Amino acid sequence: MQELLEQLYEYLSGIWRYRWVALIAAWVVAIAGWVFVAQLPDKFMATARLHVDSNSVLRPLLRGLAIQPDVGQRVALMSKTLLSRPNMEKLMRMVDLDLKVRNDSDKEGIITELRDNVGLSGDSRNASLYSISYTHSDRLIAQRVVQSLISIFIESTLGDKRKDSAGAQEFLDKQIAEYEVRLAEAEGRLADFKRRYVGTMPGEQGGYYQRLEMARGLLSGAELELREAENRRNELKRQLAGEEPVFIPSGTEEFGVESKLDQRIQNLQTRMDDLLLKYTDKHPDVIELKAIIADLEKEREEELATRSEAQMASPQQGLQSSPVYQQMRSMLAESEARAAELRVRAAEYKKRVEEIEGKVDQIPLIEAELQQLNRDYQAVSEQHQQLLSRRESAHLSEKAEQDASEVKFRVIDPPFVPLKPTEPNKLLLNAVVFVAGLGAGIGLALLISIIRPVFYSRGALNRITGLPVLGSVTLITSAMQTRKERMAGAMFFSMILLLATAFIGVSLMQDLGIDLVDKLQSLRAKIL
């Protein structure tokens, strides 16, 4: 810290040593800078504010029914087109700047200057407020330019609004006519396609693969029913052609003789049972009954044999007269008819499946082309409907604008140009020049002190030489020298004060509109 303070002391001492050099440099830089600032051309900024009133009474009523023009976008677009070349040429003629044009180069220069110096901005707090500004060295020209810009702004916006409305109607009518032709062409292509592929179009039953699966399912069902019917028919045939049909009637069911002999045998058997309860087997009555029962059983067997031989001689006579046989014959006929019906149905389903499978390469292409035609027709139809809706909305909007103006302009602040130049800020520039002059003087003095160093303390001498300092000799000045040094210091600070006074005077002269350069030239002429 001590070394830093010593270094700072040395720098300050060096600057003080060359203080007159610093003062001269400050005066030179300040005077040159103030002359330069005084020669800068003054510019006046003319400003005006516009209010774009888009609060139409009909707007809330027409919301959703008519096309609502976006006023903000329209004005924003106008702010870009305002600086177009035609508008700049028109502005140049309105302000009579074209009188200065001698060739194309002069014209381009004036147009470029107008475009660079014209400003159009919006208010961030109020979207309906817009500011127009223009900067020029002549305040009257600046005011006329802003006034002309207001006129161009209003005329262009209202004129573009009418042109846009008419152009929109014409554009919509043209687009609708084109889409009507495209819609008719799409309908014709779709109708021709349906006529060309009638019978193969995908219907309510779905697409190709769904119809193929459905046909295969119907074929499988028909084949299953056919197999069931054939199995039933074969079973009936087997039963009718069997060696011992279950439905052939027995002898006791066909003839009534067995029932009489059996009754007599049963009665005699009952009587013999009663006798056996009283007598033994050796009793004459029991023996007699046994003999009678044996004769009757023998007679019964002979009768059965006779009947059986007759039955074997003509077996179909019994079958034909059997109701069960007749019923089974009827069932067999029905089974054969059902099987024939199912064979025809299965053959038809198989034919359908083969036809659909044969079109496996054609059907998907047809379906894809049909979907594409439907999409094209739907897209054209939807766009046509949207254009019709927009045209109706545009008609309604145009009628509403005829009854009430949608956009109204009002000049909030007329073109205003201050009496004093708005730029450059010469007071600030003069202050910068004053500070720069002081800085240049101090810097020059410090640079010289570094180039031509001297020792101001024993510590500096010790630090530089590395030798011990035994002592120092103090310079004793006389009263006359002290008085001279004081006078020199007072003069130095007076010159600094005079420099500050010059800064204040120059600033006041420029603020009062006094041309410093002219005054200096006049003073020079008087001196010379």
pLDDT at 61: 38
Do 227 and 164 share a domain, yes or no? no
306 and 229 assigned to the same domain: yes
Shared domain check, 33 and 61: no
In eight-state DSSP terms, residue 133 is E
Type and span of the H or E element at 136: strand 129-136
Q: What is the CATH number of the domain that holds 57?
A: 3.30.1890.10
pLDDT of the residue at 398? 64
Whether 444 has a pLDDT exceeding 80, the answer reads yes
> What is the percent of the chain with per-residue pLDDT over 90, rounded to a whole number?
4
User: Do 64 and 169 reside in the same domain of the chain?
Assistant: yes
Contact 146, 46 (CB under 8 A): yes
Tokens of 167: 């152009």
Q: Is the pLDDT of residue 98 over 50?
A: yes
On average, the pLDDT of the chain sits at 76
**Element at 53 (helix H, strand E):** strand 44-53
Let me know: does 49 contact 40? Beta carbons within 8 Å: no
| DSSP output for 418-444 | -SS--BS-HHHHHHHHHHHHHHHHHHH
How much is the average pLDDT of 514-528?
64
Query: Which tens digits make up the pLDDT trace of 185-224?
Result: 888 888 888 777 765 666 545 566 777 788 888 889 888 9
Say whether both 241 and 353 belong to one domain. yes
- Within this chain, do residues 337 and 429 fall inside the same structural domain, yes or no? no
- 311: CB partners within 8 A, 6+ apart: 251, 254, 318
Is the pLDDT confidence value at 68 over 60?
A: no
Assess whether 250 and 352 both reside in one domain: yes
Domain extent at residue 480: 2-40+424-527
- Output the six-digit token pair for 522: 């006049």
Identify which of 258, 264, 342 has the alpha carbon closest to the alpha carbon of residue 308. 258
Cα dist from 357 to 193, 208, 221, 351, 395, whole Å: 22, 10, 18, 10, 57
Mean predicted confidence (pLDDT) in 351-359: 80
Most confident of 347-356, 432-441, 482-491: 432-441
The answer to whether 394 and 176 have CB atoms below 8 angstroms apart is no
Q: Is the pLDDT of residue 27 over 90?
A: yes
Residue 282, pLDDT above cutoff 50: yes
Number of domains composing the chain: 3
Which residues contact residue 67 at a Cβ distance below 8 angstroms, ignoring those fewer than 6 apart?
390, 393, 394, 397
Structural domain ending residue among the three candidates 343, 358, 373: 358
Angle between helix 2-17 and helix 426-451 axes, rounded to 10 deg: 100
Which has the higher per-residue pLDDT, 3 or 181? 181
Q: How confident is the model at residue 321 (pLDDT cuts 50, 70, 90)?
A: low
Same-domain check for residues 454 and 502: yes
* DSSP helix/strand/coil, 44: strand
Burial of 398 (0-12, 13-18, 19+ CB in 10 A): middle
Give the mean pLDDT of 487-513. Answer: 84
Q: Is residue 198 part of a domain?
A: no
Same domain (yes/no): 36, 89: no
Most confident segment among 9-18, 173-182, 323-332: 173-182
Percentage, residues of the chain above pLDDT 70: 72
> Is 393 within the bounds of a domain?
no
CA distance 324 to 253: 14
The model's confidence at residue 432, banded by pLDDT at 50, 70 and 90, is very high
Same domain, 312 and 219: yes
Mean predicted confidence (pLDDT) in 483-503: 87
In terms of domains, do 251 and 221 share one? yes
- Domain assignment of residue 284, yes or no: yes
pLDDT bucket at 459, cuts 50 / 70 / 90 = low
The residue from 371, 391, 416 where one domain ends is 416
Q: What's the rounded Cα separation, in Å, for the pair 262 and 257? A: 9
pLDDT digits (tens, 9 = 90+) for 406-431: 456 678 888 888 887 777 788 888 89
Residue pLDDT, tens place only, 70-95: 545 555 665 666 778 888 888 888 88
Q: 513 falls in which pLDDT band (50, 70, 90)?
A: low
- The answer to whether position 195 is within a domain reads no
Cα–Cα dist 139/419, whole Å: 8
Q: What is the pLDDT of residue 399?
A: 65
- Kindly tell me the number of DSSP H helices and DSSP E strands found in the chain: 18, 4
Point out the least confidently predicted range of 84-98, 220-234, 295-309: 295-309
